[in-house]
Chains A and B, each alone.
Chain A
Amino acid sequence: MADKILELKNISKIYGSLKALADINLSVNKGDWLSIMGPSGSGKTTMINIIGCMDTPSTGSVILDGVDISKENSASLTRIRRDKIGLIFQQFHLISYLTAVENVMLAQYYHSMPDEQEAMEALAKVGLKDRAHHLPAQLSGGEQQRVCIARALINSPQILLGDEPTGNLDEENEGIVVDIFRRLHDEGVTIIIVTHDPEVGDVARRKIILEHGRLIDDIDQSATFGEALKLKSK
């Protein structure tokens, strides 16, 4: 039996009379590549916020790497997020006045200690070594997203969490990013991605569908995994 890295047990998130998530149960194994899909307002972002330790569920429990984090306070969640989660955003969220390598080092700074050489290696891994000393404004959208991925990876997180990581990219850059995910998956990194894009959703090994806060489908895509990747990645 594979090691579970994440387990959501009867998770609900309630805002007033609105149930953003309703009684969700989900297990993610180490090294899985999971995509979360669903229409707007289906609860994808709420789910990723809870998994990313940026929010807590109203009921139910979140077991991350064997530890229930659903009742942790804000400071503990910050520590857990820093140590175990790598975040990728749709809008990249790079600090505009720091260079690419400095943006990567920023995540190191809040985790342990900045190491420029290590940050350069992370950028090399996403093909941006020669753009390391450029400011975000001097990089294309795809390059900025790759810096964001390097920043997410720099502290060797247990889960790489992406919120629409290809949402702002053209097709070419989307392919590059998906290819990076493929390599990371090959290296054993656990990847969880929220996406609207069916093509990006299809390249994952597993896909879940949310609707009105409920998990309505859990699809194992192992059979088509290689083919979809070939079509999508470059």
Chain B
Amino acid sequence: MFWRMIFKTLARQKSKMLMIAFTVILGVSLSTAMMNVMLGVGDKVNRELKVYGANITVRHKDAALMSDLYGLTEGLGVNDKFLYEEDIFKLKTIFWGFNILDFVPMLDGHAILSVKGRPGAAGDVSLFGTWTEKHAVLSTGEELATGLKSLRTWWEVEGDWIGEDDNNSVMIGKILASKNKIHVGDAITLSNNGIVKNYIVKGIFNDGGNSDEKILMNLSEVQKLMNLSGKISSIEVSALTTPDNDLARKAAQDPKSLSPDEYETWYCTAYVSAICHQIQEVIRDGVAKPVRQVAESEGTILNKTTLLMILITILSSIGSALAISNLITASVIERSQELGLLKALGAYNWQIVLLVLLEVMITGLFGGVIGYFLGIGFAQIIGQTVFGSYIEIAKMVILIVAVILFFVTLLGSVPAIRYLTALKPTEVLHGK
């Protein structure tokens, strides 16, 4: 009898129920889209922000100490402290290895530059060796493609980047090239420790920083010139991270201050401090530190993006609740004689409230299912339009949307429920 009444009411009030369903579809689709984007946007925003370069640097612990204590970035105690090149692939073996997108070794050096036919263009110059492009297969079987090219996306390069095995070419910073009137295609000579080698200038780069006064070479070439085989000065790491919270900040001060449970939570979350901690566990004598500006920008942008999505979800839910509230109240007022009759026949308030709520919930469920799938579609459109890729569908959104839908429908029904409980059969049955 109960279900017969519900389904007959739904059929009879088709247009009103369709309006409620339509409201729910709008609200749920927007919430579903926003939440899926919100949950999937972390990695997407992080990847977008990778254009700002590495967010972690790893240096020898003594060099890091000199830098922390005295602000030294070169000289004794800094330039003569090295990490081991062979350790670098261990970065991919840490707990959050999958979140490490790019990494490059850096080796600083210097040499005497001379340019054929230009005697004035000579003198001591700074070098840095790295991987411009590196392809490798890890012991896990994972194929790796990294390099400075991925970490310096903002560079303006005249000519070409030097290739992975291009040991006879170099790239020159714009200022250095300008000072010495060096052009792409010129031949230069670099000498150090009695080693003399000729190179072709393959490209001139504009970094906008100190690097513009340096020469970029393949790592192995700088190691040869400096006689530092297998050594590197630092590692630049670009990792996907989670914005810091109080736990991350506490851990960044001292991981030992955490309780076992806190430590486990922190260690298993991609906080930049947790990733740094894990890097230090695998890089001998290494100290990993976040590049604060980049890491904090990522966190801020991510937090603001998430906040925006949450706000849109909340506002759409409030909008839906208000619209549902109006529609249900109008429907209940229209049916007040019928509902008053049920009271007169012996129905308790809760029985009538249950009847109306179930009608609305069934309509809401119908709208919710359609809205959910529509929301997934919207999420993909947003993903494609904004990030150029699909948004991964988070299953937990189903649960969240179901809970939101339940409470939105319930809240939307509150005015109608209040009206129902106050409804006196005598008032509606005598037509007053």
Contact = CB atoms under 8 A, between A and B. Distances in A.
Contacts of A163: 430
A106 B12 contact: no
Contacts of A97: 8-9, 11-12
Given A54-B426, A78-B346, A79-B346, A93 B341 contact: yes
A148 B167 CA distance: 101
B426 A55 contact: yes
Q: Which of A78, A89, A163 has the most CB of B within 10 A?
A: A78
B345 A54 contact: no
A102 B345 CA distance: 14
Interface residues of B, number: 26
Contact of A89 (B11, B12, B351, B429): B429
Interface stretch (A109-117, A184-192, A222-230): A109-117
A221 interface: no
Contact of B4 (A55, A102, A108): A102
A189 B346 CA distance: 20
Interface string B319-360: 000000000000000000110011111111101000000000
Nearest to B13: A97
B347 A110 contact: yes
Contact of B344 (A83, A87, A108): A87
Contact of B429 (A82, A93, A110): A93
Interface string B343-386: 11111110100000000000000000000000000000000000
Interface in A39-98: 45, 49, 52, 54-55, 74-75, 78-79, 81-83, 87, 89, 91, 93, 95-98
A107 interface: yes
Contacts of B120: none
Contacts of A109: 1-2
Interface in B1-21: 1-2, 4-5, 8-9, 11-12
Contact of A54 (B1, B5, B344, B349): B344
B424 interface: yes
Contacts of A87: 344-345
Nearest to A151: B345
B342 A110 contact: yes
Nearest to B352: A110
A220 to B, nearest CB: 29
Contacts of A78: 343, 346-348
B338 A81 contact: no
Interface residues of A, number: 31
Contacts of A150: none
B52 to A, nearest CB: 64
B346 A95 contact: no
Contacts of B349: 74-75
B338 A75 contact: no
Given A49-B426, A54-B426, A163-B430, A82 B8 contact: no
A37 B297 CA distance: 84
Nearest to B351: A110
Contacts of B347: 78, 110
Nearest to B346: A82
Contacts of B8: 97-98
Identify the 5 closest CB pairs spanning chains A and B, nearest first.
A82-B346, A110-B346, A109-B1, A97-B8, A114-B1
Interface of B: 1-2, 4-5, 8-9, 11-12, 337-338, 341-349, 351, 424-426, 429-431
